[in-house]
């Protein structure tokens, strides 16, 4: 995905790279509004909010129906052949991984009345890898660059990168795609603009058709004028969808699908170590990080309270154990000599603790400190 000026594409899939799918997780697993071998569906009626579990219920078997046109093109045929021969093992892995995020994405698409087949855009962007990072500095399930991510409400700083939050980034991506569809009146043109930039697609459409607005077939009307990597973008989506909609026909019917994303949330204080959260919840640090890929550090942000996702069923244990674990967190104190230009907030952030913790450890009533002053910094475990 690129910025609105059409200057870049984070995942380049051109003819010169046609034999390579394992570039920055460029291709993920397909799904068709149901399941492959029993995939679960995300229940959006409960929602994702602090202290509320994400409910998952069983879905019907996958449908072979389309809600975007199944357009023929030689590059679609090429990619179908690649996925079923040379890249079969890769595609098997993609189908396995599809179960984690597609139910959630599908529910959000349904809520907005958007085509279910747009799930394949996330698939070819990141391979359903919420931590995917491209050489062009795009990140997350939907491969946002920083500028576009921030424009659509994602927070990106030294402590957190919400491009890697699968739920929030999905909302942002669907907002962006809705805008693009409103501009071009075509989901395939919107997909092309998502990949290569809306202004570039608009210019090409005006030059080739006399109008920015078109329909799904307009993509192939301007196909040879698009950048090479974008020419394969929609063919990749269609090819992966064809296989995923009828996996048994292509020999993928017995692929085991990863369980759907399911979690509970609790809200914790600033600079809370994720290891302590895991201990209280009776799980592992890896499990907490897996559910919270948007945290860049092994602690929550330093400046405010924040929700943390726990494995489903772990919230009760967390609430029971947290008071004891929290009281055991401060295990040592280190000395810090204040330097010219220091602020209490900067010192707190540097050491991964809160301003309140430093004030309490040093009996400070305010935030005024002096160069040369020695502070005790509580070290959190």
The residue ranges of every structural domain in the chain are 15-250, 263-328, 330-381
pTM comes to 0.75
| Contact in structure between 294 and 160 (CB atoms under 8 Å) | yes
Q: Which pLDDT band holds residue 333 (cuts at 50, 70, 90)?
A: low
pLDDT, residue 90, reads 85
More confident residue, 24 or 96: 96
Q: For the chain, what is the mean pLDDT?
A: 82
More confident residue, 309 or 332: 309
Largest Cα separation within the chain, whole Å, is 74
Q: Which pLDDT band holds residue 97 (cuts at 50, 70, 90)?
A: confident
CA distance 324 to 8: 50
More confident residue, 379 or 183: 183
| Contact in structure between 142 and 170 (CB atoms under 8 Å) | yes
DSSP assignment, residue 38? S
Q: Which pLDDT band holds residue 328 (cuts at 50, 70, 90)?
A: confident
pLDDT, residue 40, reads 34
Please report how many Cα atoms fall inside a 13 Å half-sphere around the Cα of residue 104, on the Cβ side. Answer: 23
pLDDT, residue 45, reads 32
Question: Computed from CA positions of residues 121, 123, 129, 133, in that sequence, does the dihedral angle turn out positive or negative?
Answer: negative
pLDDT at residue 17 tops 80: no
Q: Which of 322, 326, 369, 321 is nearest to 348 (CA)?
A: 369
| Contact in structure between 164 and 181 (CB atoms under 8 Å) | no
Residue 108 backbone phi and psi in degrees, to 5:
-70, -40
DSSP assignment, residue 139? B
| Paired strand residues for 182 | none
Six token digits for residue 146: 């920083």
Q: Which pLDDT band holds residue 158 (cuts at 50, 70, 90)?
A: confident
Q: Which of 72-81, 160-169, 321-330 has the lowest mean pLDDT?
A: 321-330
CA distance 337 to 141: 43
Q: Residue range 329-339: average pLDDT?
A: 76
Q: Which of 87-96, 141-150, 231-240 has the lowest mean pLDDT?
A: 87-96
Residue 47 backbone phi and psi in degrees, to 5:
85, 175
Is 125 a known active-site residue?
A: yes
pLDDT, residue 93, reads 82
Superfamily for domain range 330-381: LysM domain (3.10.350.10)
Write the pLDDT tens digit of every residue in 240-277.
Answer: 899 989 999 999 999 999 999 999 999 999 889 999 99
| Contact in structure between 264 and 283 (CB atoms under 8 Å) | no
pLDDT, residue 330, reads 54
Alpha helix (H) ranges present in the chain? 74-84, 88-112, 119-126, 146-151, 166-184, 187-196, 198-209, 218-221, 228-231, 233-245, 274-281, 285-291, 315-327, 344-351, 355-362
Report residue 344 CA to chain centroid gap.
34
Q: Which of 162-176, 198-212, 336-350 has the lowest mean pLDDT?
A: 336-350
Residue from 81, 89, 125, 207 carrying the catalytic annotation: 125
Our CA angle for 95, 100, 104, nearest 5°, is 115
Q: Which pLDDT band holds residue 354 (cuts at 50, 70, 90)?
A: confident
pLDDT at residue 46 tops 60: no
Q: Return the axis-axis angle of helices 315-327 and 274-281, rounded to nearest 10°.
A: 120
CA distance 321 to 257: 33
Q: Which of 248, 212, 174 is nearest to 1 (CA)?
A: 174
Q: Which residues of 169-201 are buried (b: 16+ CB within 10 A; e: fewer)?
A: bbbbbbebbeebbebbbbbbbbbbbbbbbbbbb
Q: Residue range 276-299: average pLDDT?
A: 95
- Token pair 């991964």 in the structure block, residue: 352
Question: Computed from CA positions of residues 40, 264, 100, 196, in that sequence, does the dihedral angle turn out positive or negative?
Answer: positive
Q: How far is CA 369 from CA 6, 34, 302, 340, 363, in A?
A: 48, 60, 19, 10, 12
15-250 folds as Lysozyme (1.10.530)
Question: Backbone dihedral region of 127: left (phi > 0), alpha (psi from -120 to 50 degrees) or beta?
Answer: left
């Amino acid at each position: 995905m690129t910025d609105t000026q059409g200057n870049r594409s984070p995942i380049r899939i051109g003819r010169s790279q046609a034999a390579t799918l394992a570039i920055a997780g460029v291709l993920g697993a397909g799904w068709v509004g149901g399941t492959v071998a029993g995939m679960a569906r995300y229940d959006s009626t409960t929602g994702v909010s602090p202290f509320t579990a994400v409910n998952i219920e069983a879905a019907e078997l996958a449908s072979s129906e389309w809600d975007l046109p199944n357009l023929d093109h030689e590059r679609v045929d090429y990619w179908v052949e690649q996925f079923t021969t040379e890249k079969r093992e890769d595609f098997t892995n993609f189908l396995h991984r599809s179960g984690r995020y597609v139910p959630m994405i599908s529910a959000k698409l349904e809520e907005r009345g958007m085509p279910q087949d747009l799930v394949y855009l996330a698939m070819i962007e990141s391979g359903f890898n919420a931590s995917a990072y491209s050489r062009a500095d795009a990140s997350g399930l939907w491969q946002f660059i920083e500028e576009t991510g921030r424009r659509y409400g994602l927070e990106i700083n030294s402590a957190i990168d919400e491009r890697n939050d699968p739920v929030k980034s999905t909302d942002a991506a669907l907002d962006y795609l809705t805008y693009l569809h409103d501009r071009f009146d075509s989901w395939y043109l919107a997909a092309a603009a998502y990949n290569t930039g809306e202004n570039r697609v608009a210019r090409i459409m005006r030059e080739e058709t006399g109008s920015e607005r078109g329909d799904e077939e307009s993509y192939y009307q301007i196909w040879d004028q698009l950048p090479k990597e974008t020419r394969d973008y929609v063919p990749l989506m269609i090819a992966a969808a064809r296989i995923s909609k009828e996996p048994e026909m292509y020999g993928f019917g017995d692929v085991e699908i990863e369980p759907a994303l399911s979690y509970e949330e609790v809200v914790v204080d600033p600079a809370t170590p994720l290891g302590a959260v895991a201990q209280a919840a009776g799980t592992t640090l890896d499990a907490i990080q897996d559910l919270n890929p948007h945290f860049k550090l092994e602690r929550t942000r330093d400046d405010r309270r924040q929700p943390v996702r726990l494995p489903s069923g772990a919230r009760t244990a967390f609430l029971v154990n947290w008071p004891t674990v929290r009281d055991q967190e401060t295990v040592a104190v280190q000395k810090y000599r204040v330097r010219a230009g220091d602020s209490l907030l900067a010192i707190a952030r540097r050491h991964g603790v809160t301003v309140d913790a430093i004030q309490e450890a040093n009996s400070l009533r305010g935030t005024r400190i002096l160069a040369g002053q020695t502070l005790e910094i509580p070290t959190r475990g």
